[in-house]
């Protein structure tokens, strides 16, 4: 029955696309439908088509509103540009970190089933006094949950105990990931989840995965930092109208000291009267990457929010871009 429902939904989506083509003309699909699909017309040159795709990427970056500190996702909801990552935070340390973040004005909290701290995150939010609708909560399904994804989503809702989940991601590609994503689609229809996304998906994985699902991911969350910049992946994702979010923006646990001591980052930090951490976060934002640095230190959590009162020059951005050395640090 579920497979029939999804086939039916895809058929309806196709019929709507045909209607949109009829009403608006072949060249207007992206404007009449979701705005996230670029279709080449028969009379459109490859150069023009590529320019339209480039415009999609530019639009994503332009949607970063530095006044409101939010970005509009492809489903119309808004998400904060900076947040708190909670990997490795447990118990009282986790609740205190989330509380400190909320007190510092942070309104984006990232957690996951595998982190084992959804309950603490939810508790801190519930006890903070901050209205629920002001906080954007991301959690994730781990591959060992994919077979029973619908149940796992309900378990996440129960653990968080905050009414609903703003965004549910698949934590990694894995067996039955398409079926798990469809469970998230169903949860969106049921009002349990507001948006769907992916984590640790790259170009090859996305090219295989996306044609199999109905709801375009609103976000892809990957490791991104000056030493691992994903300069081929980020533009690809943004051209699809999908927002990119970076975890480990400081290079990962055990590697932050080296990155903060980088001569280039130190020089740019001194120019702006900022810390290397703030320079890295601002560099991400100007590339169109949402940031979720992790910390349990209230001073560092506050420092990581103070990234909106300065701007990096084109030259400074280029100098940081030149630091890329494809140095990846998996979190697990």
Do the Cβ atoms of 285 and 240 come closer than 8 Å?
no
- In the annotation, is 115 catalytic? yes
**How far is residue 309's CA from residue 66's CA, in Å, rounded to a whole number?**
10
Looking at 115, 227, 236, 248, which residue is catalytic?
115
Comparing CA positions, the residue from 99, 142, 143 lying closest to residue 120 is 99
| Residue 192 burial (CB count, 10 A) | 18
205-244 b/e with 16+ CB inside 10 Å = b? ebeebeeebebbbbbbbbbbbbbbbbeebbbbbbbbbbbb
Using CA atoms, how far apart are residues 310 and 275, in angstroms rounded to an integer?
Answer: 12
Q: DSSP character for 134?
A: G
Q: Which are the contacts of 292, defined by CB distance < 8 A and separation ≥ 6?
A: 82, 83, 84, 85, 108, 110, 221, 245, 246, 247, 249
**Cα separation, 162 vs 169, whole angstroms:** 17
Catalytic residues: 115
């Amino acid at each position: 029955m579920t497979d029939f429902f999804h086939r039916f939904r895809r058929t309806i989506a196709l019929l709507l696309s045909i209607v949109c083509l009829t009403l608006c003309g072949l060249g207007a699909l992206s404007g009449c439908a979701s705005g996230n699909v670029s279709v080449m017309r028969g009379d459109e040159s490859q150069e023009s088509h590529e320019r339209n795709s480039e415009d999609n990427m530019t639009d994503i970056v332009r949607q970063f509103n530095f006044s409101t500190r939010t970005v509009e996702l492809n489903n119309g909801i808004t998400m904060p540009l900076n947040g708190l990552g909670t990997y490795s935070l447990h118990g009282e340390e986790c609740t205190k970190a989330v509380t400190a973040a909320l007190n510092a004005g942070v309104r984006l909290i990232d957690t996951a089933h595998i982190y084992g701290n959804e309950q603490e995150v939810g508790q801190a939010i519930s006890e903070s006094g901050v209205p629920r609708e002001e906080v954007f909560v991301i959690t994730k399904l781990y591959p060992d949950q994919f077979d029973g994804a619908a149940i796992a989503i309900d378990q996440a809702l129960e653990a968080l105990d905050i009414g609903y989940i703003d965004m549910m991601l698949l934590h990694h590609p894995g067996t039955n990931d398409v079926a798990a994503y469809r469970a998230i689609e169903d949860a969106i229809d049921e009002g349990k989840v507001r948006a769907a996304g992916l984590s640790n998906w790259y170009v090859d994985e996305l090219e295989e995965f996306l044609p199999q699902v109905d709801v375009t991911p609103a976000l892809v969350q990957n490791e991104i930092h000056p030493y691992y910049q994903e300069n081929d992946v980020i533009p690809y994702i943004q051209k699809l109208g999908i927002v990119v979010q970076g975890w480990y923006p400081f290079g990962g646990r055990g590697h932050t000291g080296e990155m903060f001591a980088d001569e280039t980052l130190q020089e740019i930090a001194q120019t702006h009267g900022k810390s290397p951490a703030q320079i890295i976060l601002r560099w991400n934002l100007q590339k169109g990457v949402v940031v979720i640095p992790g910390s349990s230190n209230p001073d560092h959590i506050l420092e990581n929010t103070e990234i909106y009162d300065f701007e990096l020059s084109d030259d400074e951005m280029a100098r940081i871009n030149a630091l890329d050395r494809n140095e990846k640090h998996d979190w697990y």
